[in-house]
Amino acid sequence: MSGAPSSAPPPGPPLPPGGLPPDDNRAILLLGIYWGLFPLTVVSVGLRFYVRLRIRQIGWDDWWMLGAWLLYLGSLIISTLVANAGGARHVYFIPLPTAIYVVKLTYIVQPFSIMCNAMAKTSITILLQRLMGHDAFIKKTILWTAMGIFWILCILTSIIAFTDCSPPSAHWNLTDPNAQNECWPNYVIEPINLVQGSWGAFQDFFLALFPIWILWSVQISLRKKVSIALLLSLGIFSGVSGILKTSYVPSVTNDVDKTWLVADLFLWASVESCLYIFCGSVPTLKPLWDSWTQNRSLDPTNRSARSGGHSSDGSTGARGSRFRLWHRSRGASHFSGKDVSNVSGTTDSREQPLHDTWRNNKYKIVESVHDLKQPSIDR
């Protein structure tokens, strides 16, 4: 004798009270944005290293940005797997094994995206530090304190993503309605994620506006101040995308239709990471722009030869430029800064005139006047 048919609902997420939504699929939109923006990062990072290698000036900011780009690529690959498997559809229309696979990937990709942003911001922070002299202790302290707070928040959220449930598989256990009982409550997780996202967006604007503080008291023309500030302030665009991304952070803790709701978060996280890498690399391409528009050689040896063996400030070569500034500094107004020809990051305790020091500090980032004898990596 056969038993009575079971009245238990099929395994899977509970159905919405208002009935099933339309079976829409946003995979094409997501993939178009993911891989449509990706070439911007390839070109910007590729040209960044091309310029730095040509001027013989690879710094730690370049390696941090390369690390960010690799994490960005990893996040795109995982996000593509999510979209192709149905991660841009409502969970009710996805086969249960596929839905579990998709939700699992949405948690795996989080550290890639979070750490990509942290590494890109670190690269930008190092780039800004190279613009300052030895006496900018307060500015450097504020700059790195903000960066340190962001790193702490990034590490914390990355760890929590896999430790707030016991076991972690409770996140993607869609067959047991009680699985989420083994996880921290959403009112604990959501504020942490919001704080991390909000601080990241704040720091985008902070890093974008920080060059104004650096340039405020520098004795150069207003036109040069504005042009340099604009070049170093492109991070405002990533700040806007960071705000939009943060507005979708609560979707991570949604327990009903995860595959559909996190699609917007993935979209804006991808845009934000792309803008970090692109906007953080554009300032380093200034020597390439000058070589195109002013017929200037990227090779420092050729540049010196074109000017008859003289550097851009009239002295003979990079080493002669250093010698000249050391002697001109006597009896003049002083400003403590890095050695003119030392764009590799090593320092010199001797003081130099404000105008020459600022001009060459600027060149360290956008003109790349340098000493061929100096080591190739910042210390």
Q: Per-residue DSSP letters for 180-231?
A: GGGB--HHHHHHHHHHHHHHHHHHHHHHHHHHHHHHTT--S-HHHHHHHHHH
Question: Which residues have CB under 8 Å from 211's CB, separation 6+?
Answer: 128, 131, 228, 229, 232, 233
pLDDT digits (tens, 9 = 90+) for 61-96: 999 999 999 999 999 999 999 999 988 888 888 888
Most confident of 1-5, 75-79, 91-95, 134-138: 75-79
Q: Which residues belong to CATH 1.20.1070 in the chain?
A: 27-288
Q: What percent of the chain has pLDDT over 90?
A: 34
Most confident of 153-167, 206-220, 308-322: 153-167
What pLDDT score does 294 carry?
76
From the candidate CATH numbers 1.10.3470, 1.20.1070, 1.10.8, 2.30.30, the one assigned to the domain spanning 27-288: 1.20.1070
The tokens for 31 are 């993939």
pLDDT higher than 50, residue 172: yes
What is the largest distance, in Å, between two alpha-carbon atoms of the chain? 109
Q: Is 352 left (phi over 0), alpha (psi -120 to 50) or beta?
A: beta
What pLDDT score does 220 carry?
77
Amino acid at 294: Q
Name the more confident of 328 and 235: 235
How far apart are the C-alpha atoms of 220 and 342, rounded to whole Å?
21
Query: Before 167, cis peptide (omega within 30)?
Result: yes
How far apart are the C-alpha atoms of 177 and 10, rounded to whole Å?
12
What pLDDT score does 158 carry?
92
How far apart are the C-alpha atoms of 288 and 367, rounded to whole Å?
9
The tokens for 120 are 């890109």
What pLDDT score does 356 carry?
44
Q: At which residue do the structure tokens 């009935």 appear?
A: 19
DSSP readout, 263-296?
Answer: HHHHHHHHHHHHHHHHHHHGGGGHHHHHHHHS--
What angle in degrees, to the nearest 10, is found between the helix axes of 354-366 and 286-293? 90
* Strand (E) or helix (H) holding 352: strand 352-353
Q: At which residue do the structure tokens 């990062």 appear?
A: 41
- Cβ density class 144-170: b for 16+ within 10 Å, e for less: eebbeebbebbeebbebbeebbeebeb
What pLDDT score does 359 carry?
44
User: Could you give the residue ranges of the DSSP H alpha helices within the chain?
Assistant: 27-54, 60-84, 96-129, 137-163, 186-215, 222-232, 235-246, 258-281, 286-293, 300-306, 317-328, 354-366
Most confident of 12-21, 126-135, 234-243: 234-243
Of 141, 130, 127, 136, nearest to 62 (Cα)? 127
What pLDDT score does 233 carry?
84
Mean pLDDT of the chain: 76
What's the pTM value of the predicted model, to 2 decimals?
A: 0.74
What pLDDT score does 327 carry?
31
pLDDT digits (tens, 9 = 90+) for 44-62: 999 999 999 988 888 999 9
pLDDT higher than 50, residue 366: no
DSSP summary character for residue 309: S
Q: At which residue do the structure tokens 């229309």 appear?
A: 93
Of 7, 63, 14, 16, nearest to 378 (Cα)? 63
